[in-house]
């Protein structure tokens, strides 16, 4: 049985992410896999590549053939160089940036919101706007209660 190390596509339209899997060469791209050995998220900046190096070395040792795209990922992580005995086994994988916890992001956004000016909107009202102004609302409520200065007839 011919075994390949290939990518299994997952995700939505224009939002792909992949699993690096070991599968029979005759199965379809996203078909049944023997083992999942990593993941690849190309849309992240820098791209997220997580591959179980020990399992990759095992499968390459028993004769599994990587596809071209997986081979390029293995070169980035340095697993291909380790398997072939070439220099550069540390790879060229860029580290992922540290994630800021949600509470710290919330506190930063709250501090930024408090620094903003609290003035009213600067755009004038439309002509057909029927909302009463603050002064008009006060005089209308006085007329409705019947306590105006005009004598009652």
* 64 within 8 A of 73, measured Cβ to Cβ: no
Q: What is the pTM of this model?
A: 0.62
pLDDT at 91: 72
For residues 70-96, give the mean pLDDT: 84
Which of the two residues, 124 and 62, has the higher pLDDT score? 62
Report percent pLDDT > 70 for the chain: 78
Token duo for residue 16 = 């792909």
With 70 as the cut, is the pLDDT of residue 12 above it? Answer: yes
With 90 as the cut, is the pLDDT of residue 11 above it? Answer: yes
* 25 within 8 A of 63, measured Cβ to Cβ: no
Which of the two residues, 10 and 31, has the higher pLDDT score? 10
For residues 87-116, give the mean pLDDT: 80
pLDDT at 27: 85
Which of the two residues, 145 and 115, has the higher pLDDT score? 115
With 80 as the cut, is the pLDDT of residue 43 above it? Answer: yes
């Amino acid at each position: 049985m011919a075994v390949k190390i290939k990518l299994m596509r997952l995700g939505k339209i224009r939002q792909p992410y992949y699993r690096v899997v070991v599968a029979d060469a005759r199965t379809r791209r996203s078909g049944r896999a023997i083992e999942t050995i990593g993941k690849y998220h190309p849309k992240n900046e820098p791209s997220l590549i997580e591959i179980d190096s020990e399992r990759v070395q095992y499968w390459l040792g028993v004769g599994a053939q990587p596809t071209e795209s997986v081979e390029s990922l293995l070169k980035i992580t340095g697993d291909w160089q380790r398997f072939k005995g070439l220099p550069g086994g540390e790879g060229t994988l860029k580290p992922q940036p540290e994630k800021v916890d949600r509470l710290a992001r919330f506190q930063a956004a709250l501090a930024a919101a408090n620094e903003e000016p609290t003035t009213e909107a600067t755009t004038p009202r439309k002509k057909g706007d029927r909302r009463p102004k603050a002064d008009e609302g006060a005089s209308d409520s006085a007329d409705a209660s019947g306590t105006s200065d005009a004598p009652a007839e």
